[in-house]
Amino acid sequence: MTVKENIHRLSEKEITDFIMERFAEVKKSSKIKDLVSFQAMNKYMIMSKDQEQLKILGNIVAKYKKGKIKEIIGEYEIHLNKALVNAPTTKTHANVILHIFGYFSKYFSQNEKEVFFKLLEEFKEDKITIGKTLAEINPIIYRFNNTYLASQTYFLLYSDPQPGNIFSFLSK
């Protein structure tokens, strides 16, 4: 069995179940800080599924008023469920990847940008998977010490477990 065959890719159901299990913890705590944290950690995951619902969810969290946490969580859950029924597409994943690129683009040389866009194009052309694409991008997060991106469930749930090396020259 090759390494590639040995990689377990999560199904969309497993991903949705994971997200909903984390959300159940937020509901149980009934703390706005936990909802804010949940929203932040799952931003790109939700974006990959439904950008419109992501905006609605962000607005729900932003309009929180003291004493209304149960109502906010209830409204949030409705829209979270709407977002999670959608499966990501190549187009929505590419959109997320471009948002992630925005965190680093100002630090990249022209050559590094070209390598990044070649990687994105290979993904769009179905030459590589989203898991491989994210595994290639993942080292950049640590190079630039971006804890916000490092905490994203998007990388946790979609990246292949094998780290890529296309950006290994960035760490030199």
- The pair of structure tokens assigned to 70 is 């149960």
Task: Give the type of residue at 21.
Answer: E
- pLDDT, tens digit (0-9, with 9 covering 90-100), for 62-103: 988 877 899 999 999 999 999 999 999 999 999 999 999 999
Query: Domain boundary at 84, 107, 124, which?
Result: 84
6 in a structural domain? no
- pLDDT, tens digit (0-9, with 9 covering 90-100), for 32-69: 999 999 999 999 999 999 999 999 999 999 988 877 89
For 51, the domain range is 12-84
Residue with tokens 């906010």: 72
Burial of 88 (0-12, 13-18, 19+ CB in 10 A): buried
106 in a structural domain? yes
- pLDDT, tens digit (0-9, with 9 covering 90-100), for 98-143: 999 999 999 999 999 999 999 999 999 999 999 999 988 988 888 8
7 in a structural domain? no
Query: Domain boundary at 43, 60, 84, which?
Result: 84
User: What is the number of domains present in the chain?
Assistant: 2
> CA–CA separation, 93 vs 124, rounded Å?
9
Q: What is the pTM of this model?
A: 0.85
94 and 167 fall within a common domain: yes
